[in-house]
Chain A
Amino acid sequence: MSRTRLYGPLKILSYVVLLLMLTAMIYSFVMALTYWGGIGV
């Protein structure tokens, strides 16, 4: 397989990473909103 053909799978991998980043962001927002009321200030 030529190296340029590796581009396709790598592009899919990059989308998976972008999806993981989005998931981590949503998770952190959910946690931030969940605990907002519990801040001990």
Chain B
Amino acid sequence: MRYRSQSVAYWYFAVAMVLFGLQVVFGLLSAVKYLGPDPLLYILPFDVTKVIHTNLLIVWVLTGFMGATYWLVPEESRTELHSVKLAYVQLILWTLMGVTAVIGYLFRYGTGNKLLEQPLPHKLVIVACMLIFLYNIGMTIRKAGRFTTTEGVLVLGLLSSAVLYLPALLHYENYTVSIFYRWWTIHLWVEGVWMMIMGSFLAYLLIRLSGVDREVMEKWLYVIVGLVFIAGILGTAHHYYWVGVPTYWLPIGGFFSALEPLALVGMAIYAYTAIRRAGLSHPNTLALHWTIGSAVFALFGAGLLGLAHTWPSVNRWTHGTLITAMHGHSAFYGAYAMIVLAMITYAMPSITRTRNDVSSTLGFWAFWLQVGGMFGMTLSFATAGIGQVYLERIVGLGYLDTQLKIQVHFLMLILTASIFSVGVGLFIFDFFRRAPRAEVLPETEAESVRAGGAAPPEPAGQAAR
């Protein structure tokens, strides 16, 4: 790494990896409940395991975003972070918030508002952490006086994420009103401003990994961000179908959310073109795999599978079924999990005392098992969802009778989720077997290490710092 303060990213990534592992645990516990009588019914019922599964996802992905930002901003602005101490204070507060929220969910301490179950004190800590984070990043850029377009899009995405969390602080007794505003946070995060964060990480990685001209890449970044805004904001209306709001939201939601895949098509073309121009010459081929994989899987999961059930005449049958789980799993994994894993893989040779094996066989196994496993999980949810829609919504069977008929698909889900889990486990093992690096490397050496070259042994005096 070029700047000592970038080492703070390691600890954010470490926390993110621990939470990712726990998310998988609660995902498996949730999936297995579909198979039959549940021995854990009175200890860990489905509503508890699912809440923990989805909340851990949001927290670990955000932790990864923060770590990746603390890695990226010093490099883009060519300066040390404004305050390393503040970054650690933020991480401690954030981790305590996450851990206590999960413990609280075990005892049903939460608001019950789907995906925003955090109790008010936890929400206030989230706001405090976001303010600390934005202040630290803002002051770093101000101090440097250097502000790239990639950074600009990233900061705008992060700032908007913080602002859009504010509706989550409000409580509404009316369920329709509550749903209406919930999506201002969740939808505008994942199909709006988080796409800007993903786009900026993608641009950063493509510039570094492909060596393609920054000006060209950043110009296209503007186009992608523009497409996200045009389609994503009014696309929120696809969450408003049949929730008690006026019917004019149906055509608005249908039209604008059908446009949403355009930005994802743009991102996939963007990534493909960059690599086609530069070739696969960068030695950190594993980071390249995660970067291109993220663009392609996001197009598949978020773009195509979202489009598959976003039109009102289709969604009237699929609304709230396992078809949503199909889209949700593949979209979140492709767009957000994979881009965080790409940033970690890219930064790993610099922030750890790695050996000459950055693109290790273990790393490739982790990549392919995760991608293959998630693809299989998506198909399992899809087949179960199609069966569910037919039996429940068309034939008119009851919910539980339908679940009995589609149980076989959950065997497939358990099998493919296990393949995915082994991939996640290998990634976590690969990450933690490397100790963090404390010292700054000279420019040329930093480039060589990031590219996968051998790292020099750490001097004894610096290792303890």
Contact = CB atoms under 8 A, between A and B. Distances in A.
A18 B25 contact: no
A40 B405 contact: yes
Contacts of A21: 21, 24-25, 28, 421, 424-425
| Most chain B Cβ neighbours within 10 Å, of A10, A15, A29, A41 | A10
A14 B407 contact: no
Q: Give chain A's interface residue range (CB within 8 Å of chain B).
A: 20 to 34
Interface string A25-36: 101110110111
B465 A2 contact: yes
Nearest to A28: B32
Contact of B432 (A3, A14, A24): A14
Nearest to A34: B36
Contact of A35 (B24, B35, B88, B418): B35
Given A2-B464, A32-B414, A14 B11 contact: no
A39 B408 contact: yes
A31 B32 contact: yes
Contact of B36 (A7, A22, A31, A41): A31
B103 interface: no
A41 B405 contact: yes
B28 A28 contact: yes
B14 A10 contact: yes
Given A20-B25, A28-B28, A38 B36 contact: yes
B18 interface: yes
A17 B435 contact: no
Contact of B35 (A3, A10, A22, A32): A32
B28 A25 contact: yes
Given A14-B17, A40-B407, A28 B435 contact: no
A17 B18 contact: yes
Interface of B: 11, 14, 17-18, 21-22, 24-25, 28-29, 31-32, 35-37, 39, 88, 404-405, 407-408, 411, 414-415, 417-418, 421-422, 424-425, 428-429, 431-433, 435-436, 438, 463-465
Interface of A: 2-7, 10-11, 13-15, 17-18, 20-25, 27-29, 31-32, 34-36, 38-41
